[in-house]
Amino acid sequence: MLKQRQIFQLWLPLAASWLLMGAEGPLFTWCVGGMEAQKTNLAAFGSIAFPISLVIEGPIIMLLAASTALCRDWTSYRKVRRFMIWASVALTALHVLVAFTPLYYVVVGNILGIPEEFHAAGRIGLMILTPWTAAIAYRRFLQGVLIRFGQSRMVMMGTMVRLAVLLSALVIGRSYSDWSGIAVGATAVALGVTAEAFFARWAVGPVLRERMPQLDPAADIITRKSFLQFYLPLAMTPLLTLFIGPAGAAAMSRMPVDDLSLAAWQVVHALVFLTRSTGFAFNEVVVAKLDQPGARTALRRFAVVVALCTSSLLALIALTPLSDFILGDVYNLEPDLRHVCATALLFAIAMPFYQVFQSFYQGQLVHAKQTRGITEAVAIYVCLALTGLFVGVQWGAFTGIYTTITVFSIGGITQTLWLARRTHAVNRAA
């Protein structure tokens, strides 16, 4: 029978990795908050450079889950690696097209409707983040191999390397350069993720040399058709979800208090992501452990504990003077921006809770190779989110970020309920 201790031992390094990765946003905010033009740089990164980069990398985000599930031998490893390389090249070319050509102004100005005062800073950040997609694809592919072969601690160590490089670059750039806040921050983010990718390649070396079998007789043979049938529905999950980030920015730019909402978005998103981060880690734990006896009950029990703890942490930040300390003393935010951020956190308290259960249900569907239900759930989320944002823009009665987070929370809860329904159907059919 699968024990809670066994789940915890696998989850802890992955959760620590996600937690450290989640610290990237607050560190960026700390750096930029202490420099000139904090509102402009926070808005440019949080509403332009970062969400556009995330959308472009969306198709390769699920390489971690795919690599964990499929890379059991050298044959499958090479096939997944080939896909990773081609996807990285194509998506990096798309990033260059958006960042370095007039298409940037079409996307940011005409489509997203971001105020012109943020355009120049946002473009600098997007240009600097050009290596982002390829580095993310490479390290997530290799990290999946590490998790498959029981080396999840190396994933955590890689994230520590990333965070150390990020922090060093932020401190050096803030103290010894005359660069703008977004230039310093985006450079630090790009250097950090690139360093993590190089570390992942070093860490996976012993696994590839000593533990990877030439052929696993128990593994299904991967063909191009079978891989795409498995991966494309999986890839649509983050792609559609990440598309909502720019959509939220576009909506906030058309709602009341647009300048403060766009600036607050980077701050609030960073803190919420930090509390959700350990829930993201649970997906790979479910994929790796579901074969064991009694796994489903044990994993569900573990999910309840993590969900309660993470949402309680966000509630503690939002409902106590801790928010004043973080937003004022640590981030040095201006009073009006601080007030908007503190209020917005209240609308996000449910997000860490449902994130854990999304990972719990998604992991079961990935394990069963029934990923269509994941795409359906995300499609429902996107439809609800876009509808809610449209209504919010037309109504125009509330501050943009409050409406946006409320809409995203309702959509996320609905997405989780649909995943639960699909998972139960798959389990009954098994």
What predicted TM-score, i.e. pTM, was given to this entire model?
0.78
User: pLDDT for 297-316, tens place per residue?
Assistant: 999 999 999 999 999 999 99
The whole-angstrom separation of Cα 122 and Cα 186 is 10
| The residue type at 165 | V
Beta strand extents in 208-327 (DSSP E only):
none
Model confidence pLDDT, tens digit, residues 205-262: 998 888 887 766 555 667 777 787 778 777 776 677 777 778 888 899 899 988 899 8
For residues 37 and 301, give the distance between their C-alpha atoms in angstroms, rounded to a whole number. Answer: 47
Three-point CA angle 208, 214, 217, nearest 5° = 125
pLDDT, average across residues 53-74: 84
Q: Note the pLDDT of residue 120.
A: 94
Write the pLDDT tens digit of every residue in 266-290: 899 889 988 998 898 888 789 888 8
Residue type for 390, please?
A: F
Please choose, from the candidates 346, 21, 7, the residue with its C-alpha nearest in 3D space to the C-alpha of residue 200: 21
pLDDT digits (tens, 9 = 90+) for 80-138: 899 899 999 999 999 999 999 999 999 999 888 888 999 999 999 999 999 999 999 99
DSSP reduced 3-state for 49: helix
